[in-house]
Amino acid sequence: MAAGLIARLRWLRQHALGINRRNQDLLLRYNPPRLVSLVDHKLRTKDVLAEHQLAVPATYARCARATRLVELSAEMARRADFVLKPARGAGGEGIVVIAGRDGDGFVKLSGARLTLRDLLAHAADIIGGAFSLSQTYDEVLLEQRLKNHPALAPFCPAGVADLRVVLLHGVPVMAMLRLPTIASDGRANLHVGGIGVGIELASGRPCFGVCRDRPIERHPDTRQPLIDIGIPHWPEALRLAARAYDAIPLGFVGVDIVIDESLGPVILELNARPGLSIQLANRRGLRPPVRNLLLRTGTVPGTIGAEARVALGVEMAQQEEGAWG
């Protein structure tokens, strides 16, 4: 019993990336504050990504002052579906997804109904900073609602799935698919009850799944086996994630991508402080790929193109898988 525990602790020490080491060795060293500040503002991030011809959701309106809520109200009233979100939010907090209309009312993905007054009150809370990272003044974004690719729709009874690709110097080192659940109120974030499905970098195939940090094999709402998931446009999604580094060169970053039913891979947002639950979803630690990439000689990832960085990440993932066998 004691020997098994010691072996487990040794494995964790050698493989798992903890939050302190992530912060000290990666975030502080490779993520300049000016770029972190940029990524923390979703609209500014989208503007930069769009300037580099990277696919992002369309922005319908923005509102930074309570006195402009009348204009925001008019924009919402004329749209059948949209996403209302804070510009400086985190963890999916403060996001309201409207999937349709019911007369003068608005219908969420969960089926709950809201009035225009409800949405304006929520927008006022966003402006007041209720959901911002610093709990200070914020902006409201009204943007295009992305929709699941048909291949992913059976695994998403409520909400939209997204891919989280973690990059180190623009090289993909780990990925997972995040699935929303009814319990998560349609959000794919793991900390609110979403599902994390580890994805093999080389093939795009699922390997493991977790929900609330526990192993899971089937979607709790649809009972669909997670191992049956097929990721459409996987190579394109990896390339899109790698190209985000060319636009905003954060050294360690999570790129969230939605595979839209008509647009294909679209960057939803960047995360300058990517969470570490992706290790649970993959049943692998981040330390080995991070260490191997930083120690690799003859290649400076930041100086090669996105295609080459994807190839490097896939090659290293295959070597690591071979070492397991």
Residue 5: which pLDDT band, with cuts at 50, 70 and 90? low
Question: Reduced to 3 states, what is the DSSP secondary structure of residue 238?
Answer: helix
Which two structure tokens, joined as six digits, stand for 72? 């925001």
C-alpha span between 261 and 312 (Å, rounded) = 29
Predicted pLDDT of residue 324: 44
Q: What is the pLDDT of residues 265-283, one digit of tens each?
A: 999 999 999 999 999 999 9
Predicted pLDDT of residue 1: 54
Contact indicator for 283, 207 with CB cutoff of 8 Å: yes
User: Is the model's pLDDT at 176 over the cut of 80?
Assistant: yes
Residue 188: which pLDDT band, with cuts at 50, 70 and 90? confident
Interacting residues of 324 by C-beta distance below 8 A, sequence separation 6+ = none
Interacting residues of 34 by C-beta distance below 8 A, sequence separation 6+ = none
C-alpha span between 217 and 220 (Å, rounded) = 9
Phi, psi of 254 (to 5 degrees): -105, 130
Which two structure tokens, joined as six digits, stand for 197? 């499905």
Residue ranges of alpha helices (H) inside the chain are 2-15, 19-21, 28-30, 33-39, 42-51, 69-77, 116-127, 234-247, 278-282, 287-295, 306-324
Alpha-carbon separation of residue 323 from 48, 208, 316, 320 (angstroms): 39, 19, 11, 5
State the number of CA atoms in the 13 A half-sphere of 323 facing the CB. Answer: 10
Predicted pLDDT of residue 12: 65
Q: Is the dihedral of CA 30, 32, 33, 38 positive or negative?
A: negative
- Work out the average pLDDT over 117-141: 89
Phi, psi of 280 (to 5 degrees): -65, -40
C-alpha span between 239 and 85 (Å, rounded) = 27
User: Is the model's pLDDT at 325 over the cut of 50?
Assistant: no
| Mean pLDDT, all residues of the chain | 90
- Work out the average pLDDT over 285-306: 80
Question: What is this structure's pTM?
Answer: 0.92
Predicted pLDDT of residue 158: 80
Q: What is the pLDDT of residues 21-69, one digit of tens each?
A: 999 999 999 999 999 999 999 999 999 999 999 999 999 999 999 989 9
User: Is the model's pLDDT at 132 over the cut of 90?
Assistant: no
- Work out the average pLDDT over 104-130: 92
Q: Tell the residue number behind the tokens 């390997």, with chain if given.
A: 207
